[in-house]
Structure 1
Amino acid sequence: MTKTLALVGARLNSSRLAGKHLLPLAGEPMIAHIWRRLEQCKEVDCSELATTADSFNQPLVDWANEQQIICHPFEGDVNDLMARLDKIIQRQDPDYILYVCGDCPLIDPEFIDHGLKALKRSGKDAIMLEENIKTLHEGLSFYSRNGWKKLLAASQCTMSREHVGYADKLTPVLDRVAICDSGDYGQISHRISVDTQADYRFMAETYRRWYTNHESDSIVSLAWVHQQLLQDPQLASINAHVTQKAADKQYAKASLYCHLGADIGLGHFRRIELIADALQEYLGIGSTIHVLYDGEPLSSCSAKIHWYQTEKSLLNAMSEDKNPLLLLDFHPEFIAPTSLTQALKAPKQHGAKLVGIDKLSPLIETLDRLFIPSFYTALTDNKVSYGWQNYLFRARPNNTKQRQVLVLTGGSDALGYGAQLPAMLTELDLDWPITWIQGPLAPTPDIPQHSNIKLVQDPKNLDELIAGAEVILTCYGLSLFEAIYSGAATLLLPPKHLVDLDELQRLRAENCCIVSESLEHACAMLTDLVAHESLREALQTQSKHVFADHRGIKQLVEEIKTLMAND
């Protein structure tokens, strides 16, 4: 009797999306869905998780042990995937091997059985699809034991040790049987592996849609996904832009520098996270984020992050940086521009491209590009890019607007709105519900005991809350323009020193939000907004107009691509 072994390769150290195998999909870790799908394969006799013996991957080992899944962590070279798999194959002694990438939670049981049956009948080394067949299937490799031995012997270079099957692409050694697909999966081409934040958003939305209408013990049908992609271009667009990294290609690396804090807020850090994801997804550029912050490190799923508690340590890292691309997002009131200029001398001398974000005009002589995500600047230098098209937002959910007021005072409530405004809003006694968002670094607002204000602390679904609110009361900063971009009727709280008078006057002239003079004025205008639909509609219409040509992160990526090409 023959034995077929399924090996799932997974490590949490992904440079593009660290920890991805344990990210939740429909309430379970992503890798759990792979096992549920393997359990439905009639041709697979046993399965094992192939990971490495190090502290970073211990959570994956712990998960396997909790689920009673076989896992013997590999203690050899963490980058030698072929050796890691062969160690298991030697112990398990199978006749046939199915290799599964641990980031493909849409593997199809029907196709797996179809492929294994064909391989077993053929007596050959491996399978391949017949010529000209297009398919959605990803992350699967099928081998006989003899085929595996041939592949292992041929896998001599570094890349072929790291990537299963790469040696056979360099110099074909396997005798393959050509098979048809198990279904019609060729009407659309789309990536279904999870390698970036955009891929994860796509997969999370796909799983959400399926389990909205199907039982929890079912598995997401790949045929259904195929139809969803054909019928809904918006679903496909979530990760359609992601660049598939080639195993044999060297990609540039970037260093992204920023700061955060109670006085500074979270905006610089969140923006840098967004840029890091975009560089990976659009250009294949791996990023390391360097953050100046004297508090406890924040949790994040983005690129590799280094935290610095002192300005000196961050500037030292910057001056020693050898990457070909550096992006900086600092507010010059909280770090001396002269110190940044000094730290950038060495990177500039070895040819690094230097890109500043937003308020770094004091560095204009040093920078190669200054990207300002704002509709306004007084600068005229040809290194400067600005405009409504430049605002850097994450993808906007398509939520239906509800009659509710959302209050956004920023990540740290730097202007202290939480001390007086909650009581003033409570006294208005509005019919509409009010939700106050408390940022992760903000003090708790002074909400009266019997107030109609609902407090929500650092919500993970803030994008959805913004998208669903018809009226938004916000501080000046990214949240203001996110509110306008969402199509809400937006009311700006008194910005005090956060914006100069000329910029504020230009904003008023755009008529896309109401600019308040004081908290009393803000409350009066909020009452008018809630009472008059025509006033809300006028603001919503103008918000669509100002962002009609918005390109956002795509604009920045194109400018970086052009800058790097001019090297």
Structure 2
Amino acid sequence: MNWLPQVIYKYMSLQDHIVIIVQARMSSSRLPGKAMMPILGKSLLARMVERLQMSYYKATIVIATSTDTGDDLIEQEAATIGVPCYRGSMDNLLDRHYQAAVQHHADVVLKIPSDCPLIDPRIIDQVLDFFFDHRYSYDYVGNLHPATLPDGNDVELMTMACLERTWQEASRPLELEHTTPYIWENPEQFRIANVPWGTGLNFSMSHRFTIDYPEDYAFICSVYQKLYPRRKNFSCNDILQLLENDPAIYEINARYAGVNWYRNHLQELKTITPDQTRILS
């Protein structure tokens, strides 16, 4: 239990208010209503929040959705879960993140999308550990640039000053829609760090733990059914061991491994290369 004094120290010494913002909406073009799909009797969004609450850092979790009436269900679910909800622009997620962070007096902001219900809370802690171990050294710390973990363990951390500057200066549609590209596309303006997977491996293009297609939902349900009853805070390594033992689960959504939003913006993103995404044939 050598980690316990370190955890206590973090709680006692941490002065910054951490806000985790989870973007969620009902109007997904490929899988509408995915945030409310059931997983073992609760919504995917509720399971996602449950995972975030397993972090050993004290943080405010905020659901950021749109003002569209279709997202009334998201606001109602946030109330059921017991977390605050901010409602803003449908398409300008940068503004949605910024306004939610301002409303909740954030010093440090984590952007984690709601399509990551298998996210390992230990990975969230690793990014936060890195940031606070290098206090005042970085404006942005993520694990996506480049990604090495299985897709669906996405963590992007920004100081409030970094997010505010991005909100003031970003203007391209993809920067407004995806919140953080302005930061990592301008490394000369921001102090940026990336936290790679500690194994030295790269499963970002071969393993898919996120949700955008019906097969992803079937995969996620299978993982929860196998692992959750035995260990609620199952890890990324637990999932990988499950897939090694039962390759049929891996195959459920394997055809979508490596498919991400980068594929639609390769001509616009100077820090993204074609080998970081895959286009469905």
What TM-score do you get using the length of structure 1 for normalisation? 0.41
Q: Using the alignment, how far apart are the partners of 1:3 and 1:141 within structure 2?
A: 16
Structure 2 contact 55–122 (Cα < 8 Å) conserved? yes
Give, in angstroms, the shift of residue 4 of structure 1.
Answer: 0.6
Q: Which residue of 1 aligns with 2:102?
A: 90
**Aligned alpha-carbon RMSD (Å):** 2.6
Q: Using the alignment, how far apart are the partners of 1:21 and 1:71 within structure 2?
A: 14
1:116 equivalent in alignment to 2:128: yes
Closer, same or farther: CA 140–196 of 1 in aligned 2, 3 Å: same
> Once structures 1 and 2 are overlaid, which stretch shifts more, 121-130 or 152-161?
121-130
Closer, same or farther: CA 234–107 of 1 in aligned 2, 3 Å: same
Q: Using the alignment, how far apart are the partners of 1:190 and 1:238 within structure 2?
A: 11
Structure 2 counterpart SS, 1:7: strand
Q: Which of the numbers 228, 248, 270 marks the counterpart of 1:234? A: 248
Q: Which of the numbers 155, 164, 177 marks the counterpart of 2:193? A: 177
Structure 1 contact 163–247 (Cα < 8 Å) conserved? no
Closer, same or farther: CA 120–147 of 1 in aligned 2, 3 Å: farther
Q: Which residue of 1 aligns with 2:23?
A: 9
Letter in 1 for 2:181: Y
1:100 equivalent in alignment to 2:147: no
1:199 equivalent in alignment to 2:216: yes
Q: Cα deviations across residues 245-303 of structure 1 (Å, max 9, x unaligned)?
A: 434628xxxxxxxxxxxxxxxxxxxxxxxxxxxxxxx976xxxxxxxxxxxxxxxxxxx
Letter in 2 for 1:205: S
Closer, same or farther: CA 60–178 of 1 in aligned 2, 3 Å: closer
Give matches, 1:336-347, under 5 Å.
none
Structure 2 contact 110–155 (Cα < 8 Å) conserved? yes
Give matches, 1:88-167, under 5 Å.
88-122=100-134, 123=136, 124-129=138-143, 134-136=148-150, 138-167=153-182
Structure 1 contact 7–47 (Cα < 8 Å) conserved? yes
Q: Using the alignment, how far apart are the partners of 1:199 and 1:236 within structure 2?
A: 10
1:66 equivalent in alignment to 2:83: no
Q: Using the alignment, how far apart are the partners of 2:263 and 2:148 within structure 1?
A: 23
Letter in 2 for 1:177: A
Give, in angstroms, the shift of residue 113 of structure 1.
Answer: 1.4
Give matches, 1:269-418, under 5 Å.
none
Structure 1 contact 43–117 (Cα < 8 Å) conserved? no
Closer, same or farther: CA 7–138 of 1 in aligned 2, 3 Å: same
Letter in 2 for 1:232: D
Structure 1 counterpart SS, 2:85: coil
Closer, same or farther: CA 26–120 of 1 in aligned 2, 3 Å: same
Q: Which of the numbers 25, 28, 37 marks the counterpart of 2:42? A: 28
Give, in angstroms, the shift of residue 108 of structure 1.
Answer: 1.4
Give, in angstroms, the shift of residue 232 of structure 1.
Answer: 3.0
Closer, same or farther: CA 249–219 of 1 in aligned 2, 3 Å: same
Q: Using the alignment, how far apart are the partners of 1:133 and 1:9 within structure 2?
A: 20
More strand by share: 1
Letter in 2 for 1:194: I
Q: Which residue of 2 aligns with 1:415?
A: none
| Identity of matched residues, % | 22
Closer, same or farther: CA 66–131 of 1 in aligned 2, 3 Å: closer
Q: Using the alignment, how far apart are the partners of 1:138 and 1:81 within structure 2?
A: 19
> Which is bigger in relative contact order (C-alpha 8 A, separation at least 6)?
2
Q: Cα deviations across residues 177-213 of structure 1 (Å, max 9, x unaligned)?
A: 34353567646831111111011111111111113x5
Closer, same or farther: CA 141–227 of 1 in aligned 2, 3 Å: same
Give, in angstroms, the shift of residue 170 of structure 1.
Answer: 3.5
Give, in angstroms, the shift of residue 47 of structure 1.
Answer: 1.0
Structure 1 contact 5–94 (Cα < 8 Å) conserved? yes
Closer, same or farther: CA 128–59 of 1 in aligned 2, 3 Å: closer
Q: Cα deviations across residues 142-187 of structure 1 (Å, max 9, x unaligned)?
A: 1122222333244210111001222234333431234353567646
Q: Which residue of 2 aligns with 1:51?
A: 65
Closer, same or farther: CA 177–249 of 1 in aligned 2, 3 Å: closer
Closer, same or farther: CA 132–5 of 1 in aligned 2, 3 Å: closer
Q: Cα deviations across residues 67-116 of structure 1 (Å, max 9, x unaligned)?
A: 22101322xx3100000111111122211111110010011111111211
Q: Which residue of 1 aligns with 2:236?
A: 222
Q: Using the alignment, how far apart are the partners of 1:90 and 1:195 within structure 2?
A: 29
